[in-house]
Structure 1
Amino acid sequence: MDILQLIIVIGVLVLLVKPLGTYVYHVYSDQPKRTDRLFGGIERFIYKVIGLKSRDGMTWKKYALSFLLTNIVLVALSYLILRLQGSLPGNPNGIGAMEETLSFNTVISFITNTNLQHYSGETGLSYFSQMAVIMMMMFTSAATGFSVAIAFIRGLTSRGSTIGNFFTDFVKSHTRIFLPLATLITLVLVALHVPQTLQPNVTAATLEGATQSIAIGPVASLESIKHLGTNGGGFMGANSAHPFENPSPLTNVIEILSMWALPACLPYVYGRFAGNRKQGWVVFGAMMSLFLVFLATVYTAELHGNPLLNNLGADASQGSMEGKEVRFGIAQSSLFTAVTTAATTGSVNNMHDTLTPIGGLVPLAEMMLNVVFGGKGVGLVNMLMYAILAVFIAGLMVGRTPEFLGRKIEPKETKLIAIAILVHPFIILAPTAIAFLTDLGQGAITNPGFHGISQVLYEYTSSASNNGSGFEGLADNTPFWNMTTGLVMLLGRYVSMIAMLAVAGSLVRKNTVPETIGTFRTDNVLFGGILVGTVVIVGALTFLPAVVLGPIAEHLTIR
């Protein structure tokens, strides 16, 4: 029965890829389309309000500057709201201002599409802050990532000197993708008993005669964009394990598909832009192959349970249910774990800190690779980066100038890709080492030994890959953790984005090279295998020593 559940959800996802990918392709293509009648008027009004008189294409530098300045303005506004929320309207529960370093961490977390939470939503934020800061940034950060991914695709596939207009892409991402889909998912979740209200917390009497405050609020609307935008920040501290955020197996499947469908369709979108759909399916196949290995690993590990408990004679027939909700069980908990870190969402329906060591290794490894579907555009961009690297390596092996989609790959592009590849492990491993060298870092570790290493490593990996999930046993709401993870989130988001836009800007200006009998094809199974091998080898070379010190060492010791 468990396997059937997994097959059905994966099958539905695969069926959604082509129609959803076709729609997304038409949103960003320059061809006239029927949806222009529905959305064109709204978009023209928005362009007029923001003063966008020219929608001509931009160079990569102007595109990068545009999205950076937009993000800076949103950060400043959001920081002010969090610091002043105690005196702003929309605060029926009387929640005070958020502390300075926590406010910094929160706004950086949400603008970078990380949504790492060092606070509990129902007690740390007012309704106004939840909507004006958290939900607003869930839309805008997702739209930014989607726009950059499309710009990168244009750089690889189009002919000219520009990669599109950021503001046009940004607006279309909202009006034609995220707002309509979020509205639809919100209505579905409300119908399935997820709260959506502006009333204050409910006070209930317990069986002992005491009173209990039950948190409610505009939960459904946040849940929809939280998953569609691969954001992950929960309205409640327990995130999607909370019965108000995720009340049933059906809502669990809806949330899984919501956070998975858009990242999964982007390879197909890439194939449409390239004029060769096989290109897209090869990238999709590489991503899905890695995902299935990770899913099988976490499911098997959790199904076999914890050896320590098994040796004590505990009933292991249900697998390791520690930290999991009974209404989801092993299968849907494992699938959610694999998807939320593959799609860099960060939403959780179980406590990752209580996963078995090998089960906990899966979300950690997916975030380290950061190419298994990925978040809004990030996974595809990173995978295409590895594709270019794979072509470069293959070209060196046969003594031929590497080409990708008819463009020669030269030292400039290779250096930029190397920067993007090397920055990711550096901003994970260096802060992890610093945390262990300082009392400020070590003081947050609640589980000493190998698991403590995993806790710290997971926190910085989640921050660097803009995921946001955590081994929540870590006491991370301190100035040290708020500031260091905030800086890691900034570097993890913007260094790779800018580097990849620079690659796109370089490639878009190059003349195409005619295909010959000696051209290395990138639309077949062979290249898919080379692509997967490149990802695995680079990932192992950079992260294997750290992983051995954490989850692998823990796994060996408890056995």
Structure 2
Amino acid sequence: MNVGLQTALYLATVAAILAVVHVPLGNWIHRALTDPRDWRGERWIYRLVGVDPRVEQSWRSYAVAVVAFAAASIGLLFALIMAQELLPASFGRSQHWHTALNTAVSFTTNTNWQSYAGELGAGYPVAMAGLTVQNFVSAATGLAVAAALCRGIARSRGATIGNFWVDLVRGSVRVLLPLAAVAALVLVAGGVIQNLAGPHTIGTLAGGHQVIQGGPVASQEAIKELGTNGGGIFNANSAHPFENPNPFTNLFEIVLMLAIPFSMPRVYGLMVGDRRQGAVLVSVMGVLLAISAALGTWAEHATSLTGAGAMEGKEQRFGLVASMIFGASTTGTSTGAVNSMHDSMSPLGGGVLMVNMMLGEVSPGGVGTGLYGLLVFVLLTVFIAGLMVGRTPELLGKSIGRREITYAALATITTPMLVLLATGSAVVTPTAVSALTNSGPHGLSELLYAYTSASNNNGSAFAGLSSDQPFLNLTLAVSMLLGRFVPIVLVLALAGALVRQPRRAATAGTMPTHGGVFAALLVGIVLVVAGLTFLPALSLGPIAEALS
């Protein structure tokens, strides 16, 4: 079977599964975020933290709550990592203070960049009580911000956009926790390990010794994929046979990554009262993902001298197509998990994965982050198209004026600015350059990929960068923090600006945003913005390497 047909069949299988779960999962998430009643367990949590679930917040209060919760999470996780040598089942594992700070920021921001080797830097208390907990609440934070923006668009003449603590608890308790529990059981049935066994040394047939690691792998693997997190128990991540043992688990993990992001447009359509709006967004997400998967697979196959596909850095049990679609899914969803080494891919294949993140990770993006990121592009598209054809720039009866477009534009340029400034600083810093495995265009690609991954809160790496050093750990941590919370604050400010407006009826001058023409315009705007921003840097990295 030729590689094109394999790619089409694999993508069709994934699409069919997502089509089955899209409506029920989207409906469930919508109900969780809009249910007027609280569950009993949720009420206990609200009493414990002193929150009145009936009181909603302005956008400023909502933003303060998001940032304050993140700051507390970083502090507690940093302290836990630094103290892990004193805890049971840590097996003497430890991290430098700058590595621990990078890790705390990374998991709190849903990035899950790991400067440390997974099985050597985190014991079981840190993995379970620290990292896995952040996998839940960081994903739930993205879900909450997306819900707040949807309320801002849907409501008329309001002053509040919801309650962050309610959205956080419901996203964790009603959505992520039950889905992760079921996913973990499926992974265990598929061969993923789940135990508390310590490292076990065995003798090999060649007379040497090998250390076999154990760990609570399935429970973290489930939420790392479902919550679009990406941090694994093992350094090899989802290429490790204990995390991803066979083609079935590989397909299942791809579906886990994509399930919630592809269901979020359904949530948006239900919240604004027009499901056609959600259909446009899900179609745009699907087109962008399919393009990247097809281009990446073609690039890997075309560079093979044997015609069988370039298999360096890929697992034989998955093959080229499943590896590339996994890579496209992980870089398109801000997950950061890998089942193959991106550093070993062809220049154009690795470049495709880099571009996925440079799009703003809206193909389909992370849990919540993909939806609110694409909605920012929707506002830009409405505004630009309105200027082009002389129509009123409106979205569902809300005017897109100077304030709204300012917030949207700032949210769009924040991440590219971080990527380019940080990469530019790193390439002239000797300590950063010394961490590179390669020189020339590929070395630039390694640094560009790292800061693109950190600033977009993805977490995957080219694997050719020795990043566990103070300069890279700290600059990557700053990129992760600013790349996460500056856009969040701007999106919440946008929600606050929109919620105050009345929702006007559509007129003959209103541009429709629920058809194929608008979807095509939206795809074009996403690609043009990324191309204008990053083409010079890509020309010096993966494109130059491919041409050489």
For the superposition of Structure 1 and Structure 2, which TM-score range results when normalised by the shorter chain?
over 0.9
Letter in 2 for 1:7: A
Equivalence for 1:358: 348
The answer to which of 125-134 and 5-14 deviates more is: 5-14
The one of 135, 141, 145 equivalent to 1:148 is 145
The answer to which of 199-208 and 487-496 deviates more is: 199-208
The answer to which of 347-356 and 441-450 deviates more is: 441-450
Q: How many angstroms does 1:69 deviate by?
A: 1.0
Distance in 1, matches of 2:36 and 2:267, equals 15
Equivalence for 2:26: 21
Distance in 1, matches of 2:181 and 2:286, equals 28
- What SS does structure 2 have at the residue aligned with 1:114? coil
Q: How many angstroms does 1:67 deviate by?
A: 1.4
The answer to which of 285-294 and 489-498 deviates more is: 285-294
Equivalence for 1:53: 52
The one of 296, 305, 324 equivalent to 2:294 is 296
Letter in 2 for 1:344: S
Preserved CA contact (<8 Å) 2:392 2:511: no
Equivalence for 1:88: 87
Preserved CA contact (<8 Å) 2:289 2:363: yes
> Over residues 257-306 of structure 1, what are the superposed CA-to-partner deviations in whole Å (9 max), with x where a residue is unaligned?
11110011101110111111110010111111111111110111112234
Q: Does 1:212 align with 2:202?
A: no
Preserved CA contact (<8 Å) 2:392 2:510: no
Q: How many angstroms does 1:54 deviate by?
A: 4.4
The 5 Å alignment of 1:473-492 reads 473-492=464-483
- What SS does structure 1 have at the residue aligned with 2:130? helix
Distance in 1, matches of 2:384 and 2:36, equals 36
Equivalence for 1:533: 524
Preserved CA contact (<8 Å) 1:241 1:325: yes
The 5 Å alignment of 1:96-111 reads 97-111=94-108
Equivalence for 1:313: none
Distance in 2, matches of 1:54 and 1:132, equals 26
Distance in 1, matches of 2:58 and 2:180, equals 31
Distance in 2, matches of 1:212 and 1:539, equals 46
The 5 Å alignment of 1:122-133 reads 122-133=119-130
Distance in 1, matches of 2:391 and 2:327, equals 42
Flag the 1:155–1:167 CA change in 2: closer, same or farther, 3 A: same
The 5 Å alignment of 1:146-295 reads 146-159=143-156, 160-295=158-293
- What SS does structure 2 have at the residue aligned with 1:469? coil
Q: Does 1:391 align with 2:365?
A: no
Preserved CA contact (<8 Å) 1:266 1:380: yes
> Over residues 229-254 of structure 1, what are the superposed CA-to-partner deviations in whole Å (9 max), with x where a residue is unaligned?
10000100000000000000001011
Equivalence for 2:110: 113
Q: Percent identity?
A: 45
Preserved CA contact (<8 Å) 2:46 2:53: no
> Over residues 330-361 of structure 1, what are the superposed CA-to-partner deviations in whole Å (9 max), with x where a residue is unaligned?
11101101000111100000000011111101
Preserved CA contact (<8 Å) 1:199 1:216: yes
Preserved CA contact (<8 Å) 2:391 2:511: no
- What SS does structure 1 have at the residue aligned with 2:242? coil
Q: How many angstroms does 1:29 deviate by?
A: 1.5
Distance in 1, matches of 2:11 and 2:496, equals 40
Distance in 1, matches of 2:483 and 2:92, equals 35
Distance in 2, matches of 1:517 and 1:45, equals 51
Letter in 1 for 2:17: V
Preserved CA contact (<8 Å) 2:118 2:232: yes
In structure 2, runs of 5+ residues without a counterpart are: none
The one of 300, 320, 343 equivalent to 1:330 is 320
Distance in 2, matches of 1:498 and 1:539, equals 22
Equivalence for 2:339: 349
- What SS does structure 1 have at the residue aligned with 2:351? helix
RMSD of aligned residue pairs (Cα, Å): 1.2
Q: How many angstroms does 1:183 deviate by?
A: 0.8
Letter in 2 for 1:350: S
Q: How many angstroms does 1:55 deviate by?
A: 2.6
Preserved CA contact (<8 Å) 1:368 1:461: yes
Flag the 1:423–1:53 CA change in 2: closer, same or farther, 3 A: closer
Preserved CA contact (<8 Å) 2:144 2:168: yes
Letter in 2 for 1:361: G
Distance in 2, matches of 1:366 and 1:280, equals 21
Q: How many angstroms does 1:181 deviate by?
A: 0.8
The answer to which of 400-409 and 111-120 deviates more is: 400-409
Equivalence for 2:16: 11
Distance in 1, matches of 2:390 and 2:518, equals 17
Distance in 1, matches of 2:171 and 2:333, equals 18
Q: How many angstroms does 1:211 deviate by?
A: 2.6
TM-score (norm 2): 0.97
> Over residues 421-459 of structure 1, what are the superposed CA-to-partner deviations in whole Å (9 max), with x where a residue is unaligned?
121111001111111111112111111111111111000
Distance in 2, matches of 1:348 and 1:554, equals 22
Q: How many angstroms does 1:31 deviate by?
A: 5.1
- What SS does structure 2 have at the residue aligned with 1:293? helix
Preserved CA contact (<8 Å) 2:391 2:510: no
- What SS does structure 2 have at the residue aligned with 1:203? strand
- What SS does structure 2 have at the residue aligned with 1:321? coil
The one of 447, 456, 468 equivalent to 1:456 is 447
Q: How many angstroms does 1:89 deviate by?
A: 2.2
Q: How many angstroms does 1:48 deviate by?
A: 1.7
> Over residues 360-404 of structure 1, what are the superposed CA-to-partner deviations in whole Å (9 max), with x where a residue is unaligned?
011100100122110111111111111101111122223344111
Distance in 1, matches of 2:23 and 2:425, equals 45
